[in-house]
Structure 1
Amino acid sequence: MIRIMGLDVGDKTIGVAISDPLGFTAQGVTTIRRKGIKSDLSQLRTIIEQYDIKEVVVGLPKNMNNTIGPQGEKVLNFVDKFKKEFDLEVILQDERLTTVSAERMLIDADVSRKKRKDVIDKVAATYILGSYLEKKNRGE
């Protein structure tokens, strides 16, 4: 029984989700406002220690033709720094359309635009981690 953390890494924020101890569900935990890599990693360290995280799933934004664009390069750069800081397994999860799905779900739930802006990254991280857990539990 290990907890897995899901991250939606953006320029301004990092959405964070955590699996339940059995690895079936993903819950959004927080959105980190980015202030620099040292601060970002410090805040993530607190969460990693609090939940005893053993594995991390990071959403990798790809273009629709499966290539990696500028945003994907930024995420890969973040992952390199993360791996130097933490001795954890890092899995890259294709995150195409997760933010779109998260936004649609929040609109369907009638969440105001202001509130959506505050939670969208956390919800996207939940989608990223949830997709990974589903595949893992199906044995893919």
Structure 2
Amino acid sequence: MTSSRISALGLDIGRKRIGVAGCDGTGLIATGLMTLERRSFAQDVEILRQLVEERQVELLVVGLPYTMGGELGSQAKQVQKLANRLSHALQLPLEYVDERLTSVQAEQLIQSERRSPSRHKSLIDRKAAAIILQRWLDERRLEAQRRETLTDCH
């Protein structure tokens, strides 16, 4: 199986914070990196730009909060608006992942570590970003395997 190196940042964009995750170069494992307390757009971009340079990031993967019915609500539209601005400012391509229930999953992980979710909101954001990025990495790997299987069949 051919796998190219990938460096992506996963973002869980909220009104007050942005959870940030990165992946190892192999694209197998996503890890929470930091939680950015949102200030001004320019300051947020500057912090993300440093991460992008350090990690040689090639792509932003942003969680999109669809409604449970699968529609794009007002929160999803706000996320898209900011994600597009970040993508443009950082000059990086952008992909979205359905992030429904990622915060719930992150909270459950934190509770399993015997921590109180209400006291660890920034940790939840960081773990949610890692879950978002992991979903994208897993999908990408599955897609590559499907293509390879099809190639082998022909």
TM-score relative to the length of structure 2: 0.86
> SS of the residue aligned with 1:124?
helix
In the TM superposition, residue 99 of structure 1 has moved relative to its aligned partner by 0.4
In the TM superposition, residue 118 of structure 1 has moved relative to its aligned partner by 2.9
Question: Where do 1:7-18 residues align within 5 Å?
Answer: 7-18=11-22
Match status 1:129 vs 2:152: no
- Long gaps (5+) in structure 1: none
Match status 1:61 vs 2:57: no
Larger Rg: 2
Match status 1:33 vs 2:33: no
Residue 112 (structure 1) aligns with: 116
Question: Where do 1:88-103 residues align within 5 Å?
Answer: 88-103=92-107
Higher normalized strand content (fraction of residues): 1
The whole-number CA distance in structure 2 between the counterparts of 1:83 and 1:126 is 19
Verify the 8 A CA contact 2:117 2:124 in the aligned structure 1. no
> SS of the residue aligned with 1:53?
coil
- Long gaps (5+) in structure 2: 145-154
More off after superposition, 126-135 vs 104-113: 104-113
Verify the 8 A CA contact 2:19 2:122 in the aligned structure 1. no
